Structure 1
């Protein structure tokens, strides 16, 4: 049996309550059972701006840094209330057998990007956090700040007051990734989220970046995937003609089959999508909000959220 240990960087990361860091979590990576360890508070109960690597059997080779994550404190009590996790540690005990250690290690590494894509998307679906940045947001979401120090009179002591940041921080209130959410998402790591949900997550990220026109187009694409699935379930013999229909025609066809497509779907999503695509009209925030709501409703029906292994209930959207 060989014990493997590796790190994985999450980019923007995710927001979580501070007590999430105390646990370890099970998952599967590349077909192997694995354990996920989260970063640790550098000074539990005290002031710490960044997270530190978790305590594992091997001696840590890194100190607290922005790469591991950020801690938010109650300013007058120095108590951690929330964290942004940006790096994970994973471990696995594997019998390499005839494959050899190098092949197993390569399998684990090669599987990580797909593993995180699934876990991240399920977490976005459940919590509503936007962990993926699209388009110009990648350039604008991480503004640099100038670090500044407090210096003693003779320059013998320097205390940093602000920190430069290359990674975006989520400032709007969001549902944190708590222990139950993380367990469920890790349990679904080998289940690829339906493309409709992925498009919807993309639409919400574009909305966050004020790219409302593109967000409406992605939301409409997600809704069209859902409606196509609902039509396929109801009229399998007419599949070829369905694939040639526009979003509006598909919605009308579904309505004819007694699915309750509300008029608001046509007003707030279909028409706004057509104006965005064909007329290049500007979409404002309120219009974008309404379009995304219409898409969510139909996606829920076409692609119900799954039940994680070992759970009695399906995951639940919190936003």
Structure 2
């Protein structure tokens, strides 16, 4: 296989080990290429075969291709590893008479960042992995970073706080499907992207944004759910639906119409109030309130969103996984 380049992922992506050692077609816009996964060779993986290049330059303990870190992994997705580097092969792109220098290799160099951003968005939506390269969240934090005690030393006041994350790796079929989505230019549903953004904001203590994004994701999902049941609504409630209907309206219509919802009306109203306070009254939200808002959003989207989550978690308490998109 014509491996043209090696790409170090800005943030490692967790996959099941069955995903390794194979190639997957993908692309970005008019550019098409294959992603060649590293071989499963613990502890740091092994590179794909690159004709004409000495393997020792691409391997060794200092060159990590795939490595397993301490994490809680759902039983159904073990064994798993975090992929650091991949090969890029079979690069095909259009040619331009007025820009003869703009070869497929040049197109790859200009496209690879956008390609990764689209891939990581899908991975975050499907698995909940946090892959934002511009604002990393680490599993270990220094206590008192930058602080130096003069007298007495107080070395015991400084330290390191470490946590073991819960990670949902991608199955081989999910990885292949995501790469195909990116090649086709297919984007995740907007409410799922907003859900990703709300979760990411809450992890970074951006509580106001977390609440606003969570409420917006909820508004999209409950609005669609109510409109899908429009024929079942009482006439007086149907007349309330218009282009200006907002989250509070949808919650009220659902309650007055007796629509069955997976999340209690009181919790939906609570999220609506949190959003109104954050957006219209400049209220400062706590991390607890942001977490509450995000959880309500997750539960509602899991039951009524475009992508349904399984009703039961893993036996070890692992996260929910995305089920098949709802059939219309």
- Which TM class, normalised by the smaller chain length? 0.5 to 0.7
Map residues 285-296 of structure 1 onto 2, 5 A cutoff: 285=288, 287-296=289-298
What's the TM-score once normalised by structure 1's chain length?
0.65
Contact 1:4 1:105 in 2 (8 A): no
What's the TM-score once normalised by structure 2's chain length?
0.64
Residue aligning to 2:16: 17
Residue aligning to 1:185: 178
Contact 2:95 2:103 in 1 (8 A): no
Q: How many angstroms apart in 2 are the aligned matches of 1:259 and 1:182?
A: 36
Residue of structure 1 aligned with 2:85, choices 79, 87, 91:
87
User: 1:217: how far off?
Assistant: 2.5
Q: How many angstroms apart in 1 are the aligned matches of 2:3 and 2:50?
A: 12
User: 1:187: how far off?
Assistant: 1.8
Q: How many angstroms apart in 1 are the aligned matches of 2:239 and 2:84?
A: 45
Contact 2:255 2:265 in 1 (8 A): no
Measured at CA, do residues 266 and 187 of structure 1 come closer, stay the same or move farther in structure 2, by a change above 3 Å?
same
Unaligned runs of 5+ in 2: 71-77, 143-161, 231-237, 309-321
Residue aligning to 1:38: 37
User: 1:191: how far off?
Assistant: 0.7
Residue aligning to 1:266: 268
Secondary structure of 1:102's match? Answer: coil
Matched, 1:173 2:166: yes
Secondary structure of 2:188's match? Answer: coil
Contact 1:129 1:175 in 2 (8 A): yes
- 1:67-115, CA deviations, whole angstroms, 9 ceiling, x for partnerless residues? 6443449xxxxxx954221232221253756665734333333333333
Residue aligning to 1:63: 59
User: 1:264: how far off?
Assistant: 3.7
Q: How many angstroms apart in 1 are the aligned matches of 2:273 and 2:306?
A: 23
Measured at CA, do residues 66 and 259 of structure 1 come closer, stay the same or move farther in structure 2, by a change above 3 Å?
farther
Contact 1:196 1:222 in 2 (8 A): yes
- 1:130-186, CA deviations, whole angstroms, 9 ceiling, x for partnerless residues? 22267xx54866768xxxxxxxxxxxxxxxxxxxxxxxx993122112212211211
- 1:165-212, CA deviations, whole angstroms, 9 ceiling, x for partnerless residues? xxxx99312211221221121121121123321121122223334544
Contact 1:24 1:36 in 2 (8 A): yes
Secondary structure of 1:56's match? Answer: coil
Map residues 1-319 of structure 1 onto 2, 5 A cutoff: 5-41=4-40, 44=41, 48=43, 50-59=44-53, 60=55, 61-64=57-60, 65=62, 68-72=65-69, 81-94=79-92, 102-132=102-132, 138=136, 171-189=164-182, 190-229=185-224, 239-242=242-245, 245=246, 247-253=247-253, 259-260=259-260, 262-277=264-279, 278=281, 280-285=283-288, 287-299=289-301, 301-304=304-307, 316=323
Q: How many angstroms apart in 2 are the aligned matches of 1:279 and 1:95?
A: 49
User: 1:125: how far off?
Assistant: 1.9
